[in-house]
Structure 1
Amino acid sequence: MTSTYGYARASSEDQDCAIQEAALRAAGCTIIRSEKKSGTTLDGRTELTTLLDFIRGGDTLMVTRIDRLARSVADLEKIASTLKDKGAFLRATDQPVDTSTAAGTVFFQMLGVFAQFETGLRRERQMEGIAKAKAAGVYKGRKPTVDAASVRSLRDQGLGGAEIARKLGIGRASVYRALQPTERSTER
């Protein structure tokens, strides 16, 4: 007996997979796995890995759109190869992708190229925005996650790097970075 498994993914914690999950249920998925992870890499995507490990010959992995599965051609090819090696198929509810057919396979490959292209464009726009903000003097960068004053205070009390890291629940490298003079303080 073959099964259809659904995979839903959102890129960030403030996004929701509910609409994808509903579409996958309506398409007949018996099991749906969801996660909130970036699609730019396969690393850390435990729910997808579970599905790929579990899927068997004749089964189908279903997504709503190919960009929910991966954002790079290399990752899409790796997933498609894994499915093909197992004798399983890939389908999308919102796109004419069905790797059990030649036309569906070609469309899948074209969509992969466009997903990677879209990611590249988004990255370029982001870098342009950062450059513009820097030129205008309004770019602040990421907010510090380590309280440098607390690190310095504990160092002044005679604590070493490892002990400071344990007390503050941070990595030792973060302690040493916080103790380094910053570019801003040397500019003044």
Structure 2
Amino acid sequence: MKYGYARTSTSDQTAGLAAQVATLEAAGCEEIVQEHASAVGEREAFDILMLHKLRRGDTLVVTKMDRLARSIGKLLTIVETLEAKGVALTILDFNKGESVNTGTPSGKLMLTMFGAFAEFERSNMLERQRVGIDKAKGEGKYTGRKPTAMNQRERIVAMDAEGMTRTAIAEKLGISERSVYRALGST
């Protein structure tokens, strides 16, 4: 069976998730697992897919390598787990429109090489970003994101005093529940 996996980091990236699902459907995936989760954090739907759904002879399909992993180490661990289960991996947009299938020796080689290059490029990009931010801070042009929850601290405290639950406050103000607790803890 062909399983697709679509992932975005945040829930507001609906267009990106929809595009991945459409691509996976066009590739013939019979079931598509989708979730909003960071590639480096907990991925509940992916873990369920890996542990309970994939069987020998199945193929896992993703649109791009970074939907699966951000580092070559993590990618190779996933590939190794899939191989042990007898599951092939297909990455549709692997390198400028080319796909790769780990069910072949050349596919495994390409995955390892391009995965290492992708990790190297990402590290370089993050380093350039850090240098740019440091320069902008030095020039007084970068102040970071303004805290949204703390700007609403008075409203949060008032809603809490009215007896609203922390979950209800978070939903009403469009902030995380953790931010509500933080704002209430700083009063």
TM-score by length of 1: 0.73
CA distance in 1, matches of 2:144, 2:93: 37
Could you list the runs of 4 or more consecutive aligned residues of structure 1 that deviate by over 6 angstroms after TM superposition? none
**1:106-148 superposed Cα distances (whole Å, 9 cap, x missing partner):** 1111221122123212211221221121111122233233359
Write 1 or 2 for the structure with the bigger share of strand: 2
Which residue among 150, 156, 159 is the counterpart of 1:146?
A: 150
Structure 1 residues 111 and 48: CA distance shift in structure 2, 3 A: farther
CA distance in 1, matches of 2:21, 2:114: 21
Q: State the number of aligned residues.
A: 159
**1:108 corresponds to:** 111
Q: Gapped runs of 5+ residues in structure 2? A: 159-178
Question: What does residue 7 of structure 1 align with?
Answer: 5
User: Matches of 1:12 and 1:169 in 2, distance apart?
Assistant: 19
Which residue is equivalent to 2:37? Answer: 37
Partner of 1:48: 46
2 CA distance for matches of 1:148 and 1:34?
Answer: 33
> Residue type of the partner of 1:21?
V
**AA partner of residue 84 (structure 1):** E
Please tell me whether residue 94 in structure 1 is matched to residue 105 in structure 2: no
Displacement of 1:91 after TM fit?
0.6
CA contact (8 A) 1:67 1:112 kept: no
Distance 1:80 1:149, change over 3 A: closer
Distance across 1 between alignment mates of 2:64 and 2:79: 14
User: Equivalent residue for 2:26?
Assistant: 26
Q: Give the structure 2 partner of residue 82 of structure 1.
A: 81
**1:50-83 C-alpha deviation (Å, 9 max, x unpaired):** 2111211111100112122111011101111110
Q: Which residue of 2 is the match for residue 129 of structure 1?
A: 132
Matching residue's letter, 2:100: V
**Aligned partner of 2:181 among 170, 180, 186:** 170
The structural deviation recorded for 1:89 is 0.9
SS at match of 1:13: coil
Higher CA-based Rg: 1
Larger deviation: 99-108 or 7-16? Answer: 7-16
TM-score relative to the length of structure 2: 0.73
1:149, distance to aligned residue in structure 2 (A): 6.8
